[in-house]
Structure 1
Amino acid sequence: MSHRPLTLLFSPRSRLERELQTIAQGHQSIRLHQNGVRIWSTGAALSGALLGWRFAQESFAPWFAPLLIFVFVTGAGLQMWFILRDRLDLLAAARRIERDNPELEAMLRTAMEQKGDAKGKLNFMQERLLKEAVERVSNSVWHLSPRQQSRWLAAAHGISIIAAICFAAIGMRHAVPLNWDWGNLFNARAVTASGIEVTPGTVEIEKGTTVVVAARFNEGMPATAVLVWRQADGPSGRSTMGRSMSDPVFAFTLPEVPSDTVYHVEHDDHRTVDFSLTVFELPDLVRADAAIDYPDYTGLKDRTFIDTRRVSAVAGADLDYEFLVNRPLARASLVAADGEVVELTARDTDRTRFGLTVTLSESRRWQLELVDDEGRIDPDPTDIRIAVQPNIRPELKLEFPRSDQRVSPLEELNLQASVKDDYGLIDFGLAYSIGVADPVYLSFAESGPPVVEAEFDYLLALESHEVEVDELITWFGWADDFGPDGESRRTTGDLFFAEVRALDAIFREGEGEDAPPGGGGGGPAGDLLEIQRQISVAIWNLRKDDSPSPTFEDDVSTLATSQEQARAMLDELRGNLEDDRQIDAAESAAEAMGDTTDHLDDARAEISVDPLPDAWADAQLAFRSLLKLQPRETRVAQGQPGSAGGGGRNQSQLNQLRFRQEQDNYASQSEAESPASPEEREQLNVLARLKELARRQNDLNERLQELQTALAAAADEAERDEIRRELKRLEEEQRRMLAELDDTRQRVDNMPAGEQRRQANQQLEQTREDMQEAGEQLEEGNVSQALASGTRAQESLEQTGEDLRENSSSVFSDEMRELRRQARELAEQQETLQERWDETDDGPPSLDGSTQHQELAEAVGEQRERYENLLERLRQASADSESAEPVLHRRLYDVLRQQGTGGTEQQLRAAEELLRRGFVDESRRQQAGVGPSLDRLREGVERAADAVLGDEGAELRFAQSELGDLARELRDEAAARNRETEENSGESGQEIDVPGSAESDELGTELAEASNNNAGAGTTPGNQPGSSPTPDGTVEGTEPTSGVAQSPASDSSPAGEPGSQPGDGTPSEETLLNQLAEAFGTNPSGAGSRGVTSAGPLTGQNFADWADRLRTIESLMDDPELRQQLGQARGRAEELRRDWQRQGSEPQWDLVDSGIVNPLEEARAWLQQELARQEDPETLQPIDRDPVPDKFADSVRKYYETLSAAESARTDTGDTSEPTHDF
């Protein structure tokens, strides 16, 4: 039994009341917390519902705070009301105890109802009842149960209050103040005013759209009008609307509306109804991350590229492409140009992440199409490009000898070769075969990790192998690398031959036209031998493939036909043979040719490469037999420089001949080739892109530095907001540069394999990380960190460009182009100085030194400094090019040696000193030889520059042609778009003035034809690439090309020559050689021209190619002003292209004509004049090239259009009279 000691001093009744009071207080606490839980749970639920409604309906946002306050005030009032109403009731506590404990039998209530007598005393029975009740209460635990229950309810009460407060706090952070207009609230006139038209009214707009709100008053014009607006999650305000001077309209512009907005117009004491602008977001790509798992054989680490639209990887790599979008989508897909659709898979429940997992096998280009739940689509689908680099076979190149040889049995063949691979070589070497023996493979690979480049050589001593006369020796390079499946694969190079000649073979000079030039003699036997060699090489190249190519059947059919025709030629030749040895050799060759044809027929029927080894062996046997038909004595004649001949195999013997006849120095005019190969042009394009990216990154860094300083010094929040908006624009520019860098990385992957490409890729990957980091730092507002990352990216871009320039084939192109420009300017400035000398009088200088003598002396001093600087740069270029460009080094050395003995520097220095002392005549005589010396310097530098830049005339013609094509494509696009607009509008008979009309095109065509006539065109049969005269005037034969494309060089037969008559059953040797060249080689005349796409550059798919071509022309220009003019035109085109992609806005074609087409045409006209000046310095050139004044521009244009149309009409009708023009 437990007692409460402090209650023993009280009476039983007091003790009972005290015990019941404790229990009643516990019950009261339970009721308090129960009511609180009910009230605040309801309040929390209402707060949560209001919060959800606030975010679901932006127009409800201003009412959220008042309603939330109402909920809290009501809850607190109810809580206080329950507290004041609930009083302590002991009898109720007793009844509740007795209800829970029936064994008490109403003892507690009876005891509480007992009352004393008049004096307040209780009798014995009452005392006993109270004591029993007290004892029962004291010994019970009835007071503990209410306490425990009260504690749990108190915790629930507190949780409900905290939940309600949390919902309220979240909502208040996004609360929008409610604009209470009490005047209008009680004003009966605050209704929609009649006669007012408000536009755009209630509409849906895209987020960030600028909205112009206009109010037209049809009945009376108020003095002022006010636009009252409030945004769901932003500010509200009252803005005075601007008044139109001509119409009864007030207007105000809401810039870049970010969220739902409610607005109305107030004027005087009236107002309109509320209108709403409901904001929606179009689907848009936020970020695209690419994870690439490279094949093991590449040795590359797996990489993840953040936010890239350009992916480049080797075939066989696994790509995981993930796209993050700005809102939930119903569908995301990649659509190819041919209509193929690749559906993307959602990777989260929010449907904002979509992905694609694929193993790369071919390059693809897709448009990312996004569709949301409301059916809205992305208006500007993102261009996704995946460039798949095939695992190409090693590139084998025979460095020496580079053509077939004719050797004696005692000679030694020094075979030199090189090999390159993209991911590493397992093994490599040379192989040679003598006669019909199997090839002997020689390995030159060293132990260690695989290498990507190697050079090796081998000395083949023929005497030690005891070769015989008329024996055939073949050799080729080979290399083993990893194939796409990760297994080793073997690649063989081009096949070369060496014919073993007799020691008594004789070469004699022919008389007149009896002997062919160059040593391609041997008569019909020699031509037939060349044809059989071509057939053997073509079969060899076909058998190198593991499986038949798509053109395999046609190629084999062509070879079989060629072999049959060669055998027919041999049968015709056999009738003229008298020597038994040659007759036996011809029969053996004919039999081998027949076997070759049979094997080729089997390969064509089976469409299999299995019969090709036997066909090649028989073709080789036929070739060996034909070697025995060659005569011991050969007559040759001296040909023109550059003419093609068949003396490549006999060149070592021809070089030892001395011809009696004089060399014919007359040469036919030839058309210059393109200034650079496609590979070199692509490399120039990459260098130009890197240079431009470095410049733009530098400009962005400088702007960041300025904004960083301005942000620290900003005085108010408005100025800081403007700076933040500028930083946002810079962030977008950084992301555009990142996308362009990805495109440049893809172009680097197209460069030839080797260490240079690998290093460039590594540097560009680091550059991309720096650019990515700069963009992320800008997004977070960390300007200093973004500036640091941008500076690193700029330095990396400059270093990468410099490394590529140093290691490229055009290492000295930029330097020599600049030196050539300086040499020309130096000569021109000397002419200007000479004119000033002639105008200067001979007289004493004044005391202050301000006479024209002093000015001329300073000009001569500057000329001397420029001359010294130019010579110093020439010396440096000569030293740098000694090993890399020996021809350039030799020509620069000659220029420097010539200038070193001319004394030009001393003459300029002496003339300067004499001018300072006032001796004009003496200084004029002293510098008399400077002008011719500088002219020789200019000519020497131009000749040296031609060694690396090629023919400058060809470069100018190429640039002129490209500029014409670029401008024409823009004119054609403008005409097409205007025709489309005219057709869509349905208007007929309305003429549209479009740049590039028929008249202007005809005029441009005439100018182009005139330019081509000035340039001169035409080729001669002997003017093939690869032909060059030897020092003694003999002609070196054309080298065989790689692959199947080995075309023999042969002179054109005159008409009427035997074998070229129509209807002749047996084709001539030349005809058959040409057929083989066309079927298996590269035909210079068959080079395809640039295709014309259906869409133009600005609104079509070929803008990148158009801009790259213009960028290449920029890099070829020497004139800085012309280069800047072309760069500005390209910049305008890129800006118009971005506007069209972002907003779909049609380019303003008049601005295209004036800002892009005209600069291109002006540059083309300048090139035409420069080309004419170079080809004929005596041609009169226009002095004033200022543009036509604006007020006369239309008249001049109409004049030339009319003149062109009249000229065209006269040409069609054959009228030769002079046209008349009326204006």
Structure 2
Amino acid sequence: EPTQRVSLSKTLNDPVFGGMIADVMSDSVYHIEYADHRSRQYRIDVFRHPALEQADASIVYPEYTQLPDKQLKDTQRFSAVQGSQVTVTLTLNKAVAQATLTPKQGAEPTLVVDPMYPNLYTTVITATESQQFVLNLTDADGRANEVPPRFTLDVHQNMPVALTPKFPSRDVQVSPLEELTLEAEVSDDYGVLGYGLVYGMAGSEPKSVTLGEMIAAGDKEMSHHMLALEDVNAQPDQLLSYYYWADDLGPDGIARRTTSDIYFAEVRPFEEIFRESESFMDEQAQQQQSPDEQDPNGDQEPRLQGEQLARLQKQTMTATWNIKQRTDLGAEANAVTEDLTLVRDSQSDALASGQGALEEAQDAEAARSLTTATEAMDTALEHLSEAVESGSGDALPEAMTAEQLAYQALLELREREHQITQSRNNNPNRAAQNSQQFEQQLQQLELRQQEDRYEKQRLAQNENQTQQREDLQVLNRLRDLARRQEDMANRLREAEAALQQAQDEQARQDAQRQLKRLRDEQMQALDDMDEMQQRMDQERNRQRMADAREQLDQTRSRIQQSTEQMEQGQVSSATNSVTRAQRELEAVRDDFQRSTSSQFESEVRDLREQARDLDQTQQAISEKIREQVESRQARRSLSDSNAVASLSEQLIQQKDKASDLIDDVKEVTDASEASEPLLSRKLYETLRRTGTDNLDQALEVTEELVRRNFMTEAERIEQRAADGIRTLREGVEDAAQSVLGDPTDALRQAQEQLDTLIDQVEQEMSQAQSAQAEQGMPSDSTQPGMGQGSPDAQRAQASQEGQQAQQGQEGQPGQEGQRSQQAQAGQGGQAPVNRPGQNGNRGGNTGPFTGQDYVNWSDRLRDVEEILEDQDWRNEAAGVRDRARTMRAEFVRHGTEPQWDLVRQSVMQPLVELRKQVKDELARLQKDQARVPIDRDPVPGLYEERVKRYFETLGEDQ
């Protein structure tokens, strides 16, 4: 190897010389030359801690999935189907004395060393449940790996067939001559072998009907069946039960059957009477009457008890069926014994109530029905007791049969005449309680007491908040990865140019070190890609994101290929691979955004931005015209010709932009008429108002007057144009709220998220500085030049700002329940083992930088980035997240805590500043919503809540 010479520098006035040899990569010898002398040779022995260089995985899926085998290179995250064989190949930097792959729980897999390559280990893991592993290495000299790498195995369970009844999807009442239409949706993650329907009258043998066969994996199919009640000889007061079934292959490759919830169709009599009560007072008087006054024959009380018994018996039937489903799917006896005991006790209570009603019954027909019901209940109780004692579900079918017979007998106690009252109180009459059973009859009944149509406005609740948050998280990751790949391509080109222009060995080594850093960053991007794909492959996202996940497989291969090319010094090829990965990520990002966003979300967002820009430009033009008028009046001279020409040109451009915006609004109005009628109607009203303002004509006349230097007249006409543009902007913004939501709500969410982010960082900084104080180490906050570096000062400042942000915002809905609390396994738990000189009390830390809460913290910051609309704010949030990711990666890679003064400067302070900007914008938007009494000054903020309570309590009884 070539000899290198390093100059030594003298230290102050001491006769001591020193120098540094950078990047000692192998064993070396050195000597010192001074004057005419030369020292003896000294030896430098280099040792390396054992470390993982690369981990590859080969996944063999079970035969029932019909999925091809999958090869994953350079990854520490594996996603596999339940029952898959995962072969993990570990390439180490050298041979080791001991290598163990320690699971978080369960048995430890065996690592087998390759006889030809002692640094190559393999193990085979059967995917049964999701698991985390830690790779611990020890070499022959007893040195352990500095930061044990963590592996995450995400196992997708082979879920039973998804059976979703669509119609009627509830219990119904039917006529003996009715044809009942039954519809259900069937789907499975790995295919359906067949599906059908089982139905039967209570006490008779059920009949099974096959409705379809062979549904491909991931496909959905709607089943239809017309059940004629006349064909099963249904009679009034009988009970028909039905449920759906479907077969698929279980994890063991054997066919298994899944059943839906059980539903009941009660056969109603041919003749039932529904009449409206004369008044609410009549109804109340009737309710206050004694049972004997209501029915002298004593028939009413047993019927009332019969209806209550029927409801209890129906609940018992449903609970028994649910337990039977669990036992059919292999639930253990201990898991169902407690529930079986509860159902048996419920059936025993129903039997006691039925026997009590039977003793009080004076009507012969009611007594006969109660006798049949109690006998069936007693039989059901015997079978349920047998199931409890045996701990199995073998006796449940017989119990279900007896329970249905009991319920059918109780149906005979139903009333034939019903009194209906239009009521809005919270305690409706008995007939109203069963109104769902008589929905069809009630719809046909014309009530004289009309409904009160003066309703308060109701805000629709978003039922898909979790799904939308997952979509935004994935979209943000796609956008982030595409941006990082673009930046990587540019930096690779710079590194390639530096390598080509290197004149000496030192310059080449600097360029090589830069290339190594870029490869480490690309490895981090590869890990982030695996984490995103793992998230997309979760049960709640798998079907919705299947297309995007498949497209990303090729992109991952390109990123992995670029890391290999950088390691081999093929910088040009690596640049090409990174560029292709960037374009593919951008394409997936755009497709994913179109598929997950509202149909007109992007168009409406563009319209709103155009309208705001148009209004801002017009305000600037108004100011310039005013300045021209005032300048002309002061100097009593003509205006500057250049300024006039510039104004004229701006007005021409403004007219063109206004015309283009109106055309775009017309297009969206027409396109959204069918799917978004509220948006279409609001945009149409905006166009109508803008048309009456003659916006185009006002801009044209203003431009001509400015060009002719009639500034006073131009100012007057321009005001009409400014009013028209303002009306256009306000109308577009109002219409946009129907699609994009209220911007103040979004800003409140962003502020709450920022509060949480800042609090988490503050807590971790405080814990770290307390630990340093206990160990006698200097705190970062004591370094000069940091200004307000104290965590207490920071906390006081953040607390003060948080209190100010909360003034005037009472009643804000909390967002904590809407946030995902599931940090991805393996990311949050990457805190390395403690080493000498490090904080030894970090085991319970959950902070974002050195603890287990990084993924959750980063996801919150991604939420803020997606919520904010201002591009500068979004860029600031993204920059903070990039800096935090770099600090976290350094901690995971080297096990050293971050420099907390740098955390404060590059993470904490930007977040505090961003929160202040959000708070100021929120206050600006809410200034028009302040409660102000008519003709009076606004109530001071300190007394606003008291004044509100005062007016609310006026008129109340004291």
- Indicate the TM-score class for this superposition, using the shorter chain for normalisation: 0.7 to 0.9
Rounded Cα–Cα distance in structure 2 between residues aligned with 1:730 and 1:483? 46
1:34 corresponds to: none
1:578-589 correspondence runs (5 A): 579-589=363-373
**SS in structure 1 of the partner of residue 575 of structure 2:** helix
Rounded Cα–Cα distance in structure 2 between residues aligned with 1:987 and 1:727? 35
- How high is the TM-score relative to the length of structure 2? 0.79
Rounded Cα–Cα distance in structure 1 between residues aligned with 2:56 and 2:496? 30
Q: 1:536 aligns with which of 303, 317, 320?
A: 317
Q: What does the per-residue CA deviation read over 1:413-440, in whole Å, with 9 as the maximum and x for residues that have no partner?
A: 3333222211111112444444444444
The change in CA–CA distance for 1:271 and 1:1012 in structure 2 (over 3 A counts) is: farther
Rounded Cα–Cα distance in structure 2 between residues aligned with 1:1177 and 1:1003? 24
- How high is the TM-score relative to the length of structure 1? 0.63
Q: What does the per-residue CA deviation read over 1:3-31, in whole Å, with 9 as the maximum and x for residues that have no partner?
A: xxxxxxxxxxxxxxxxxxxxxxxxxxxxx
The change in CA–CA distance for 1:952 and 1:1104 in structure 2 (over 3 A counts) is: same
What amino acid is aligned across from residue 540 of structure 1 in structure 2? W
Q: 2:411 aligns with which of 624, 627, 637?
A: 627
How far has the Cα of 1:611 moved from its partner? Answer: 2.5
How far has the Cα of 1:1126 moved from its partner? Answer: 1.8
Q: What does the per-residue CA deviation read over 1:1105-1153, in whole Å, with 9 as the maximum and x for residues that have no partner?
A: 3323322332232232222222122112111111111222212223323
Rounded Cα–Cα distance in structure 1 between residues aligned with 2:283 and 2:745? 35
1:400 corresponds to: 167
Whether the 8 Å CA contact 1:476–1:494 is kept in 2: the answer is yes
2:274 corresponds to: 506
1:861-1010 correspondence runs (5 A): 861=655, 864=658, 867-868=661-662, 871=665, 874=668, 878=672, 886=675, 889-904=676-691, 907-918=694-705, 919-925=714-720, 928-946=723-741, 957-985=748-776, 993-994=790-791
Residue 797 of structure 2 corresponds to residue 1013 of structure 1: no
Which residues of structure 2 form unaligned runs of 5+? 285-302, 633-637, 706-713, 783-788, 829-843, 933-958
Rounded Cα–Cα distance in structure 1 between residues aligned with 2:601 and 2:654? 28
**SS in structure 2 of the partner of residue 329 of structure 1:** coil
2:262 corresponds to: 495
Residue 452 of structure 2 corresponds to residue 663 of structure 1: yes
The change in CA–CA distance for 1:894 and 1:985 in structure 2 (over 3 A counts) is: same
Rounded Cα–Cα distance in structure 2 between residues aligned with 1:966 and 1:1110? 7
Q: 1:860 aligns with which of 654, 663, 670?
A: 654
What amino acid is aligned across from residue 605 of structure 1 in structure 2? E
Whether the 8 Å CA contact 1:420–1:753 is kept in 2: the answer is no
1:822 corresponds to: 609
What amino acid is aligned across from residue 782 of structure 1 in structure 2? Q
Rounded Cα–Cα distance in structure 1 between residues aligned with 2:395 and 2:746? 48
1:457 corresponds to: 224
Whether the 8 Å CA contact 1:509–1:659 is kept in 2: the answer is no
Rounded Cα–Cα distance in structure 2 between residues aligned with 1:264 and 1:1090? 58
**SS in structure 2 of the partner of residue 977 of structure 1:** helix
2:388 corresponds to: 604
Whether the 8 Å CA contact 1:826–1:866 is kept in 2: the answer is no
How far has the Cα of 1:612 moved from its partner? Answer: 2.5
Q: 2:146 aligns with which of 379, 385, 392?
A: 379
Residue 79 of structure 2 corresponds to residue 321 of structure 1: no
Whether the 8 Å CA contact 1:316–1:484 is kept in 2: the answer is yes
The change in CA–CA distance for 1:509 and 1:722 in structure 2 (over 3 A counts) is: farther
What amino acid is aligned across from residue 877 of structure 2 in structure 1? L
The change in CA–CA distance for 1:266 and 1:705 in structure 2 (over 3 A counts) is: closer
Rounded Cα–Cα distance in structure 1 between residues aligned with 2:619 and 2:579? 44
1:794 corresponds to: 582
How far has the Cα of 1:330 moved from its partner? Answer: 0.4
How far has the Cα of 1:625 moved from its partner? Answer: 3.5
Whether the 8 Å CA contact 2:821–2:856 is kept in 1: the answer is no
What amino acid is aligned across from residue 1013 of structure 1 in structure 2? E
Whether the 8 Å CA contact 1:1015–1:1171 is kept in 2: the answer is no
How far has the Cα of 1:851 moved from its partner? Answer: 5.8
Q: What does the per-residue CA deviation read over 1:205-231, in whole Å, with 9 as the maximum and x for residues that have no partner?
A: xxxxxxxxxxxxxxxxxxxxxxxxxxx
1:618 corresponds to: 402
1:1033-1112 correspondence runs (5 A): 1094-1112=845-863
Residue 907 of structure 2 corresponds to residue 1153 of structure 1: no
What amino acid is aligned across from residue 239 of structure 2 in structure 1? L
2:942 corresponds to: none
If you compute each CA radius of gyration, which structure gives the higher value, 1 or 2? 1
Rounded Cα–Cα distance in structure 2 between residues aligned with 1:987 and 1:475? 74
Q: What does the per-residue CA deviation read over 1:74-121, in whole Å, with 9 as the maximum and x for residues that have no partner?
A: xxxxxxxxxxxxxxxxxxxxxxxxxxxxxxxxxxxxxxxxxxxxxxxx
Whether the 8 Å CA contact 1:560–1:600 is kept in 2: the answer is yes
Whether the 8 Å CA contact 2:159–2:189 is kept in 1: the answer is yes
1:560 corresponds to: 344
Rounded Cα–Cα distance in structure 2 between residues aligned with 1:548 and 1:788? 54
2:74 corresponds to: 307
Q: 1:358 aligns with which of 107, 125, 131?
A: 125
Residue 548 of structure 2 corresponds to residue 742 of structure 1: no
2:558 corresponds to: 770
Rounded Cα–Cα distance in structure 1 between residues aligned with 2:600 and 2:100? 46
Q: 2:889 aligns with which of 1132, 1135, 1138?
A: 1138
Rounded Cα–Cα distance in structure 1 between residues aligned with 2:228 and 2:644? 80
Rounded Cα–Cα distance in structure 1 between residues aligned with 2:422 and 2:45? 90
What amino acid is aligned across from residue 506 of structure 1 in structure 2? F
What amino acid is aligned across from residue 703 of structure 2 in structure 1? R
What amino acid is aligned across from residue 754 of structure 2 in structure 1? L
What amino acid is aligned across from residue 408 of structure 2 in structure 1? R
The change in CA–CA distance for 1:710 and 1:655 in structure 2 (over 3 A counts) is: farther
What amino acid is aligned across from residue 1148 of structure 1 in structure 2? Q
The change in CA–CA distance for 1:268 and 1:825 in structure 2 (over 3 A counts) is: same
Rounded Cα–Cα distance in structure 1 between residues aligned with 2:15 and 2:664? 72
**SS in structure 2 of the partner of residue 1113 of structure 1:** helix
1:568-717 correspondence runs (5 A): 579-631=363-415, 632-639=417-424, 647-656=435-444, 657-658=446-447, 660-663=449-452, 665=454, 676-708=464-496
How far has the Cα of 1:580 moved from its partner? Answer: 4.3
The change in CA–CA distance for 1:475 and 1:837 in structure 2 (over 3 A counts) is: farther
Rounded Cα–Cα distance in structure 1 between residues aligned with 2:320 and 2:607? 48
Q: What does the per-residue CA deviation read over 1:603-643, in whole Å, with 9 as the maximum and x for residues that have no partner?
A: 333222223323333333343344344433142435499x9
What amino acid is aligned across from residue 637 of structure 1 in structure 2? Q
The change in CA–CA distance for 1:1085 and 1:1156 in structure 2 (over 3 A counts) is: closer
1:1159-1178 correspondence runs (5 A): 1159-1164=910-915, 1177-1178=928-929
1:239-318 correspondence runs (5 A): 239-243=6-10, 250-265=17-32, 268=35, 275-318=42-85
**SS in structure 2 of the partner of residue 467 of structure 1:** coil
1:157 corresponds to: none
**SS in structure 2 of the partner of residue 850 of structure 1:** helix
Of all paired residues, the percent bearing the same amino acid is 29
What amino acid is aligned across from residue 569 of structure 2 in structure 1? G
Rounded Cα–Cα distance in structure 1 between residues aligned with 2:195 and 2:681? 42
Whether the 8 Å CA contact 1:1015–1:1175 is kept in 2: the answer is no
Cα RMSD (Å):
4.4
Whether the 8 Å CA contact 1:1015–1:1172 is kept in 2: the answer is no
